[in-house]
């Protein structure tokens, strides 16, 4: 009887896993060049970020690290229930952090969750810099 009870508890535990942070669908896209000299990318110089909707699952937030030549590209698909239709991260109106208005999860500009329900960082895509001609290339290689 004890063995059956233990088996039942293990089975129950295995069936009740929380899928709140499901895996985001992989995004395959061609390398995306960004010429930082073009007026289309002025928001990177003024606000420090911009949306690029042509790549990623739900688009990408391209972020410029302040006082640096370093850039991060974050998937806009929230890591909490990524298959919800409204699960799209945006930069908060204050410009100080990112938020998913659907579930209210917030993320810092390192992509790390700062308030629940999300507990998994945003997907960050690899960027290849070319300081010689002031361009970067966003690739579908995942950093985190």
What pLDDT does residue 23 have?
Answer: 76
Q: Say if pTM beats, i.e. exceeds, 0.85.
A: no
Give the torsion through C-alpha atoms of 23, 97, 111, 50, to 10 deg: 90
Q: Which residues share a beta bridge with 34?
A: 136
pLDDT category of residue 110 using cuts at 50, 70 and 90: very high
Task: State mean pLDDT over 51-62.
Answer: 97
Q: Compute the distance between CA of residue 134 and CA of residue 144 in angstroms, rounded to an integer.
A: 25
Candidates 134, 137, 121, 124; CA nearest to 60 is 124
Q: Which residues share a beta bridge with 75?
A: 60
pLDDT category of residue 36 using cuts at 50, 70 and 90: very high
State the CB neighbour count (10 A cutoff) for residue 95. Answer: 11
The per-residue pLDDT for range 76-90, each reduced to its tens digit, is 999 999 999 999 999
Q: Is the pLDDT of residue 140 over 60?
A: yes
pLDDT category of residue 131 using cuts at 50, 70 and 90: confident
What pLDDT does residue 16 have?
Answer: 37
Domains of the chain: 19-142 (2.102.10.10)
Count of alpha carbons within 13 Å of 4, Cβ hemisphere only?
1
Q: Compute the distance between CA of residue 100 and CA of residue 81 in angstroms, rounded to an integer.
A: 11
Please give the mean pLDDT across all residues of the chain.
Answer: 87
What pLDDT does residue 89 have?
Answer: 98
Are 100 and 31 in contact, with CB atoms under 8 Å apart?
Answer: no
What pLDDT does residue 14 have?
Answer: 39
What pLDDT does residue 124 have?
Answer: 97
What pLDDT does residue 18 have?
Answer: 45
């Amino acid at each position: 009887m004890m063995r059956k009870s233990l088996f039942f508890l293990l089975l129950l535990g295995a069936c009740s896993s929380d899928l709140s942070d499901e895996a985001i669908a992989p995004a395959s896209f061609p390398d995306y060049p960004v010429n930082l000299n073009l007026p289309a990318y002025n928001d990177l110089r003024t606000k420090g970020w911009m949306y690029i909707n042509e790549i990623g699952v739900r688009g990408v937030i391209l972020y410029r690290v302040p006082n640096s030549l370093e850039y991060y590209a974050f998937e806009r698909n929230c890591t909490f229930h990524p298959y919800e239709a409204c699960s799209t991260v945006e930069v908060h109106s204050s410009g100080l952090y990112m938020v998913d208005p659907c579930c209210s999860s917030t993320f810092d500009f390192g992509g790390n969750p700062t308030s629940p329900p999300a507990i998994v960082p945003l997907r960050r895509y690899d960027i290849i810099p070319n300081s010689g001609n002031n361009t970067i290339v966003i690739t579908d290689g995942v950093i985190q």
